[in-house]
Structures are given as C-alpha cells and as structure tokens.
Amino acid sequence: MEKLFGTDGIRDTANTKVLTPVPLARLGQAIGWLLRTERALFSTDGARGVPRAPFGQANAFKRPSVRDRVLIGRDTRLSGPMISASLAAGLLSQGVNVVEGGILPTPAIAHVVREMGASLGIVVSASHNPAPDNGIKLISPEGFKIPDAAEERIEALMRAGVPDALTGPEVGDLALETGVDAESKLSNIASKYARDLVDRAKEWGLSLKGMKLVIDCANGATRAVAPWVLEALGAKVVAMGVDPDGAKINDGCGALHPQELTQRVKEEKADLGISFDGDGDRLIVVDDKGHVRDGDYVLAICARMLKAQGKLEPAVVVGTEMSNLGLELSLKAEGIRLVRAKVGDRFVSQAMKTEGLLIGGEQSGHILFFEDSTTGDGLLSALMVLRAARHFGKSWNDLCKCLTRLPQVLKSVRVVSKPAFESVPEIVEAKRKVEKKLGAKGRLVLRYSGTEPVARIMIEGDDQAKIEKMAGEIEESIREALG
C-alpha cells in the first residue's frame, strides 16, 4: 500500500485508490478501532493563548456519550457525500458515534470539535485543489491536526487489517445535523462557529459599519458563513463564489484566482476584497486599489498591530522558507524576528507551539492566530485584517507600504516521481549554477508539494528578469529529469 498521508492529510483524485467506498470504510474502521483502543494517540499538545472553552448550544450534540462522537464535515465537492458516508460506515461498525455535519469550513470543524470535547474531527476536502480531487484531514480533540504517530498507526492498520476483537454487534449512532439556527439560518454547527467569531470580534471592539467588502468564497465551504459574519458586524457585503454545484469549487475563483475579485473591487469602489479557498482555511486580500496582497502582507501588518497592543510577546513571527525576504526585513525594522519553518501549515503550527508564539503563516494565505484559533482560518484572518485597518486608521493599501517585496519568482512543475533533488545529477548541476549566479544577493528553494505531483521552485534576487531566467533553467532541468 502506498503511503496515505502527506503534509495535509490524504489527498487524491476522488473515486480512485483509497478514495473509493471500500478502502474508505476500512479507513473508518481503522480510525474507529484506534479511538476505542488507543484514544490518547490522537491527542495533541495545546498552544499558548488558545483556551479550552465549554461547549455551547449545537443541538446535534445533545445526545449521550458526546465525548465518543466524531464530527465529519466537508466542502462542496460532488464526491464529498460519498466519502463522508463511507468513512461514517467504517466508524459506526466499530461502535463509534458519528455526527454528519454537512458543509463546513475546516476551521469551523476544528473550532467545534475543541468546544464540544469530541473524540475527533474529520474534514473531507481537497482545500484549494480542483473539484475532481478530494481528501481527508483528521483533527485532534484539541483542534490541531493529529500527530504523525497517529497517522502512522492508521497506515499500519490499513496494511494489516483491523483486528476482529472489536467487531461484532455493537454499532455506533449516526446523528445527521439538520438543525438550523432561526436567526442566522445557518446549521447549528456552522452557527456556533459564526457566532463565536462575531462575539470575538466584538470583544476587540471591531465594527464594520460603513465598510463595503467584496468577498469570493470560491464556491466552497464559506459560502454561507462568511457573508453572515461580515454582515453581522455591520459591513455591506458583495458576495461572489457563493453558488456551488459540486464542480465549481476553486474553478477560476477563490484564493488561487483573484483576478475577477480584483476587477470587482475596483467596480464596486470597495474598501477591501477578501478571497477564501475551497475549505476556508486560507485568505488572500485585494486592497482598495486592486492590488493582490498575500499572506506575507497579512503577517507583517497584523504582527505590527499585535505588538502595538502589547500582545506580541515574544516579538517573533513564524513564516516559511518561501516567505519573501522583504517580510523578514519589514519585521526586523519593527524589532520583530522572523523564524522560518518548512512549507505547510502543520510545520508552522509545530514551530509556533514549540516556541510559544502567537502568530505565523504562509505566503499562500494560511495564517494562524493562536490567541483565537488552533488552525488556519481564512475568515478569522479577514477579521484580523479588518481589525488592523481600524486600529491604524488607514486603508489596506497604505498599510501594505510597510513591506517592500524583493523580486521573486514562483514556479510549479508537474513530475511523475519525487526523488530527493540531491540524487538527480541534472538538477544538482542546474541548482549549483543558479546559486553561484545569485551569490549572497538571493535565495533558491526547491521542494515538492505535499498534496500534488508537483515540484516547486522559488528564487529571490535583485533583478526580476535575471531570476526569471534562472527559474526557467531550473524548471527545464526538473522537467527533463522528472517530467
């Protein structure tokens, strides 16, 4: 059996390999068996600033053995119900109780699992990938991604099979979350998440009255929650990407495709454009002048705000090896240090927990604010962006002047295999030549995507034309060797 888990859970083309009903049911059985025999395996360490709050009022969980329940939520892909049902069947066969939460953003699942004290959360989503793909992310009772050791035990059980000792007549209970909150008109689970976000924003003193926002929900999991939250705080919202049909998720829209949002912000003369990906865990901002602003800008400005409010102790931010050098220089000018982690929000999260830090994130828009959440949350990040604008009394375009990006080129090359780059002579030689040309005035980073058959190239330097040429040389060497 191939390795199941990558850097962001399991991900592949839906209805192929493990993402077909029989293997999915076996996966559910393996997870269920471990929940019954080795539950502590799924627990994760907490993080500074993230409280463990009592569970609120979601009706679906007012049944016996709340702590034995697993919450399953999904994005809007056509394959989502099939995958959710197959996983639920396996869990139920092991006597594990399941709540089918329907369409929910990833951060909502993490939030509600932590609040309700559930055994586990399961996210059925391929995040920013196109609609034919899908995936599975497992959320610990504390709201973080499960430990590597738990993933390894699941894979071992998938290879060996679930022992017969716990199979038998005991079957778990399935709760279908069909309740709708009368005021918000969201499902009870989504409403819990949305109301908690609004309450938190009000604690900050954030009001969005007088603001006009254009949002792009990528035809994904935020399509109902995001407009409600922003309108509840007083904003006038123009919503795009809120009409999912199972196939339109991330299709020319959302965080990876902000072109239409950029145009709409200009047309509407909006204060800000806000773009999410399919499962709602990342954010890309379009400022009032129509400029696309990635996660580096969010980190630079929100870190400044938190420091000004006396909440950034120690004055350290976690980025990644892909974070632009301009971010590092911008933070340094404010007495804030940048620590770089490997690419992937799980690595950012690990670094933040290890160092006891409150803010970190990726250029791609996964931003973590440990004072308020355990995971990347596009909607929370949007509220922090708006909070910063109110705090400084400036437009986002003006705030972004604190960061001057160094010329940077990002390229993706599809590959058929992922050997270590150091083991491929053609790539080693191309890399050596580029690094010699860059000298001390630039950086080259090569890595493989953890979720796609793709090699990533990042080059920074002092001349855009030169680094684009260098990136082309690296791209060609990878394509010839691994394409």
3-state DSSP call for residue 388? helix
Rounded to whole angstroms, the Cα distance separating 140 from 321 reads: 26
Which residue spans within 146-296 are E strands per DSSP?
Answer: 174-176, 212-216, 236-240, 272-276, 283-286, 292-293
DSSP-derived letter for residue 180 is B
461 CB neighbour count, 10 Å cutoff: 24
Backbone conformation region of residue 426, classed left if phi is above 0, alpha if psi is from -120 to 50, else beta: alpha
The answer to whether the CB of 192 falls within 8 A of the CB of 115 is: yes
Q: Is the dihedral of CA 383, 302, 375, 17 positive or negative?
A: positive
Q: Rounded to 5 degrees, what are φ and ψ at 257? A: -135, 75
Residue with tokens 């270590």: 420
CA geometry: angle at 95 spanning 91 and 97, to 5°? Answer: 65
Kindly provide the b/e burial profile for residues 33-49, where b requires at least 16 CB atoms within 10 angstroms of the residue's own CB: bbbbeeeebbebebbeb
First to last CA, the chain: 24
The answer to whether the CB of 276 falls within 8 A of the CB of 230 is: no
CA geometry: angle at 326 spanning 269 and 477, to 5°? Answer: 105
Tokens (6 digits) for 429: 């030689």
Which residues have C-beta within 8 Å of that of residue 268, sequence separation ≥ 6?
A: 212, 214, 238
Residue 395 a catalytic site member: no
Which residues have C-beta within 8 Å of that of residue 207, sequence separation ≥ 6?
A: 233, 234, 390
Q: Which helix (H) or strand (E) holds 414?
A: strand 408-414
Displacement of CA 130 from its chain's centroid (Å):
15
- Catalytic residue (choose from 79, 93, 127, 187): 127
Which residues have C-beta within 8 Å of that of residue 79, sequence separation ≥ 6?
A: 14, 15, 19, 134
DSSP-derived letter for residue 220 is S
Residues taking part in catalysis: 127
